[in-house]
Amino acid sequence: MDLGLVAQYTMNGLMLGMMYALVAVGFTLFFGVLDVIKFSHGDVLTVGAFTALASFIGLQSIGLSSDAVELLAMLVAALGAMALLGAFIARAFILPLRSAPALNTLLITLMLGTVLREAVRLFYPDGANPKPFPRLLPADSINIGNFNLRLDNAILLTAGALVIVGLQLLLNRTKLGLAIRAVAQDEETAKTMGVNFNAIVLITFAIGSALAAFAGLMNGLYYNEINFGIGLYLGVVGFSAAIIGGLGSIYGAILGGFLFAGLQTIGAVALPFASAYKDVFAFAVVIALMAWRPTGLIPEKLSERV
């Protein structure tokens, strides 16, 4: 195969993998701190993407036309609003159910996701139809044979990598990160050491939801279109990535995200009728991996999570 095409497929896979990894890391944070599978996580991504679009339209209506200002406003609006939404979900729905069976939490987050998704479809103007997303990043590109390196893709990939690195620094180099890891390791001991358990849970859910919003913004800028169902698909993929990587492991979630994107890319290149079967191929391999390694590729003990 032509090296240019290989490079192009690799770049496309890295872009998808970065979005999947950001979603998967959110699932891992929630599970690491509270043993919770939050199935509304993908729909928070949807709300974040539509919040970013609404902020852009609002700025346009008052005459602001600077791409940098609009992009910054979309970023702040989406991440800030979804961080608040994530903390609210934790406070109103997750923490009150801590003593209930795990199935109750699973069901309430699943139903909450449906509420969020349908709220976007019903209450956002013409929300049932796909929405064009603004092109705010430089459109320049470099052609090397069959490889086309778009500057906007390189910026998005770099931004995603910086977010993940920043999260790692937060968890490993700050007092807040130490408190999050302490709660994940042993809740009771953390409480006796003076850690405010409820506050740490709210902050963790805020961080995970902000990551989902960032992934939603990346998705919109990459495809230049969003719809009310994007979070449903990305949530399933992100959860699958977290599982195959090792639920409770940040590195496992990142590995799982890029692995799933790699499987899709291989399926798109190697299979006939690639666009129709790439997801089938990827999920089939994930099923096989789960049967082979039920604890994930990078399993961690309860005391080592996050």
Q: What is the pLDDT of residue 1?
A: 57
Q: Name the phi and psi angles at 143, rounded to 5.
A: -105, 125
Q: Name the phi and psi angles at 245, rounded to 5.
A: -75, -30
> Rounded distance, CA 251 to CA 256, Å?
8
Could you tell me if 83 and 256 are in contact, meaning their C-beta atoms sit under 8 angstroms apart?
no
> Rounded distance, CA 269 to CA 263, Å?
10
For tokens 């358990």, name the residue.
197
pTM: 0.94
Local mean pLDDT, 10-residue blocks, the chain (306 residues): 79 94 96 90 97 94 83 96 97 91 90 96 94 92 83 95 96 93 89 92 97 97 96 95 90 94 86 72 90 82 43
Six-digit token string for 211: 């990551």
For residue 23, give the 3-state DSSP assignment: helix
Domain 3-133+150-304 CATH assignment equals 1.10.3470: yes
The full length of the chain comes to 306
Nearest to 72 by CA among 227, 223, 230, 217: 217
The H or E element containing residue 182 is helix 175-185
- In terms of Cβ atoms closer than 10 Å to its own Cβ (0-12, 13-18, 19+), residue 143 is exposed
For residue 142, give the 3-state DSSP assignment: strand
For residue 115, give the 3-state DSSP assignment: helix
> Rounded distance, CA 191 to CA 12, Å?
45
Q: What is the pLDDT of residue 276?
A: 67
Q: What is the pLDDT of residue 178?
A: 93
> Rounded distance, CA 33 to CA 205, Å?
9
Please give the DSSP secondary-structure letter assigned to residue 39. T
> Rounded distance, CA 19 to CA 217, Å?
10
Tell me the CA distances in angstroms from 80 to 120, 186, 277, 280, 300, one per residue in order. Answer: 18, 29, 37, 35, 31
For tokens 């089939």, name the residue.
284
Q: What is the pLDDT of residue 274?
A: 56
